[in-house]
Amino acid sequence: MDEAVISSFDFHNYLSKTKGLVEDALNKALGPEEPALLRDSMRYSLLAGGKRLRPILCLASCELAGCDPEKAMPTAVALEMIHTMSLIHDDLPAMDNDDLRRGMPTNHKVYGDAIAILSGDALLTRAFEMVAIRSSNVSSEQLLKVIAELSIAAGAPGLVGGQVVDLESEGKEVDLETLEYIHLHKTGALLKACVKCGALIGGAEEDLLDALSIYANGIGLAFQIIDDILDVTSSSEVLGKTAGKDLIADKTTYPKLLGLKASRERADDLISKAKRALEPWKSTSAPLLALADYITNRDR
Ligand code: GRG
């Protein structure tokens, strides 16, 4: 794709088509299994909508590496399962204690705390099953690398670690370094895994993996800065989750530390840097470039 092709790239069409494929795969990933209560609770949250940004990033990275994105679909589904389980657990009374997610009552409000915890556990373990059992035409070596990436991103070095520091920091003065640590772990780690896993399945060379790592760091942090901004500037109706929550929980956020204008500028800088990393792949990176812009321009 040259400049003209990139500027004519129909992102709206790409997004709705790819989202449709992801929704389809998510729907098929959870069959008519037992016990019914657990299945219903898992399906309730997994199929509740959402932007599906993580699986789309995974598929787009696989495609950029020159491979049919369908090959990465089981991993893309796994990533959305891990993300969804983190949302279910994050909403629990012992954590963020929220009633609204993706425009619907949170999982524990419908199924109770115990089933919400267990359906999160089941989604997390199902994610690894998806990668190990449903992937085809992907070598065992690639699958092992993907499984390692997912484990690291979800566990103590990623989401769980970030969540712990986030919980510990509530009601305290937090500096920019700690805030960045929280964001890069709690949010950035999984977004980075999406990009990396897609590229690994696509058979990306080292130079592309390095560039995608820079891209992922930039979009990961920018995504959370925008999330902090939207928490202040948007409404629960638009967000589909409780707006103003950070203030209520006395959390340090980018707008609190830097103000709204400087936060927006920081997000824009990060997105520009992320996009610059993909310059050498200008002719084939239109979806990832457009996804980077989507992250800063989104309204929910
Ligand atoms: C993963 C083992 C494991 C445990 C989870 C609870 C927890 C540990 C971590 C919390 C992680 C968390 C909720 C981070 C926030 C990430 C974030 C900004 C979510 C919102 O993502 P969107 O906007 O949501 O992409 P949709 O609904 O569009 O998918």
Q: Residue 6 Cα, ligand 1 centroid: separation in angstroms?
A: 31
Q: Residue 84 Cα, ligand 1 centroid: separation in angstroms?
A: 7
With a 6 A CB cut-off, is 82 part of the ligand 1 pocket? yes
Which numbered atom of ligand 1 lies nearest the CA of 166?
10
With a 6 A CB cut-off, is 87 part of the ligand 1 pocket? yes
Q: Using the predicted structure, report yes or no on whether residue 211 has a pLDDT greater than 60.
A: yes
pLDDT digit string (tens) for 105-143?
999 999 999 999 999 999 999 999 999 999 999 999 999
116's tokens: 């919400």
The span from the CA of 280 to the CA of 131, in Å, is 30
Q: Residue 224 Cα, ligand 1 centroid: separation in angstroms?
A: 10
| Average pLDDT of the residues in 69-82 | 98
Candidate from 83, 164, 242 with most ligand 1 atoms within 8 A of CB, to mutate: 83
Q: Residue 86 Cα, ligand 1 centroid: separation in angstroms?
A: 5
Which numbered atom of ligand 1 lies nearest the CA of 298?
23
Candidate from 53, 89, 92, 118 with most ligand 1 atoms within 8 A of CB, to mutate: 89
With a 6 A CB cut-off, is 106 part of the ligand 1 pocket? no
What pLDDT sits at residue 15? Answer: 96
Q: Which has the minimum average pLDDT: 4-13, 57-66, 192-201, 256-265?
A: 4-13
What pLDDT sits at residue 2? Answer: 47
Q: Residue 159 Cα, ligand 1 centroid: separation in angstroms?
A: 8
Q: Is 140 exposed, middle or buried (0-12, 13-18, 19+ CB in 10 A)?
A: exposed
With a 6 A CB cut-off, is 191 part of the ligand 1 pocket? no
Q: Using the predicted structure, report yes or no on whether residue 263 has a pLDDT greater than 70.
A: yes
Cross-strand bridge partners of residue 105: 100
Which numbered atom of ligand 1 lies nearest the CA of 84?
29
Confidence of residue 1 (pLDDT cuts 50, 70, 90): very low
pLDDT digit string (tens) for 54-63?
999 999 999 9
* Three-state SS sequence of the chain: CCHHHHHCCCHHHHHHHHHHHHHHHHHHHCCCCCCHHHHHHHHHHHCCCCCCHHHHHHHHHHHHCCCCHHHHHHHHHHHHHHHHHHHHHHCCCCCCCCCEECCEECHHHHHCHHHHHHHHHHHHHHHHHHHHHHCCCCCHHHHHHHHHHHHHHHCCCCHHHHHHHHHHHCCCCCCHHHHHHHHHHHHHHHHHHHHHHHHHHCCCCHHHHHHHHHHHHHHHHHHHHHHHHHHHHCCHHHHCCCCCHHHHCCCCCHHHHHCHHHHHHHHHHHHHHHHHHCHHHCCCCHHHHHHHHHHHHCCC
Which numbered atom of ligand 1 lies nearest the CA of 155?
2
Q: Residue 213 Cα, ligand 1 centroid: separation in angstroms?
A: 20
